[in-house]
Amino acid sequence: HEWNTSRPLLTKSATTFFVFGASDTTAQLLAERRRPDAQRALGFASCGACVTAPYFYSWYKVLDARLPGTRFWYIKLFMDATMAAPVYIVCLLTAQRCLAEAPRWPELLRDAQNLWLDGLKVCPIYQAVNFLLIPPAYRVQWMNGCQFLWNIYVASFCNGVSSMPRS
């Protein structure tokens, strides 16, 4: 608890680094059933620590300052899904493409839209719990715990391995 309050961004970046690295390694094992590419996992983990953690740490601070408490949790959820998520996804995909051996720049916006639509099927569920029950200081860690499975999909998506069927 002490590190979470005295060094909140460092703590959130460290936990996010671990979760993203574990998710990417798991995605590789599930998709390829061979020795995982440590450089790829390190790149995804670094995106988590350097993009995801600071982004959501800052987003939650602004959101909680404007809409404190749980009374307006549904507004927070709507704003998170329609404002924060699309911008974050473009940032994450841009960072991933910068690290890729063969970046797919022309598809960036289409891929971002597809990943955002896929996320709308999953993320609002755990984000509702986040805004209703989780203290603000622990929101990024809660999100990390929930995102382990989701990030297996995201890691695969970022590396062109998988895509959910479009409905």
Residue with the bigger pLDDT between 137 and 83: it is 83
Compute the CA torsion angle 69, 13, 98, 154 (nearest 10 deg): -60
Cβ-Cβ contacts under 8 Å for 22 (sequence gap 6 or more): 148
**Tokens standing for 17?**
């680094």
Residue with the bigger pLDDT between 1 and 131: it is 131
Confidence tier at 67 by pLDDT (50, 70, 90): very high
Residue 33 near residue 49, CB atoms below 8 Å = no
Average pLDDT over residues 45-73: 95
- Concatenate the DSSP letters of all residues of 135-163 into one string: -GGGHHHHHHHHHHHHHHHHHHHHTTS--
Per the domain annotation, does 165 fall within a domain? no
Q: At residue 88, what are phi and psi to the nearest 5 degrees?
A: -60, -45
Gyration radius from the chain CA atoms = 16
Per the domain annotation, does 76 fall within a domain? yes
Average pLDDT, the chain: 90
Task: Tell me which residue of 80, 159, 148, 145 sits closest to 116, measured CA to CA.
Answer: 80
pLDDT higher than threshold 60 for residue 164: no
Question: In terms of residue numbers, what domain contains 32?
Answer: 2-158
pLDDT at position 161 is: 56
pLDDT higher than threshold 50 for residue 163: no
Confidence tier at 165 by pLDDT (50, 70, 90): very low
DSSP state for residue 33 in the 8-state scheme = -
**How many domains is the chain partitioned into structurally?**
1
Give the C-alpha separation, 38 to 50, whole Å: 18
Cα–Cα separations (whole angstroms), residue 105 to 32, 41, 97, 102: 24, 21, 7, 9
pLDDT at position 105 is: 85
- pTM for the full model? 0.86
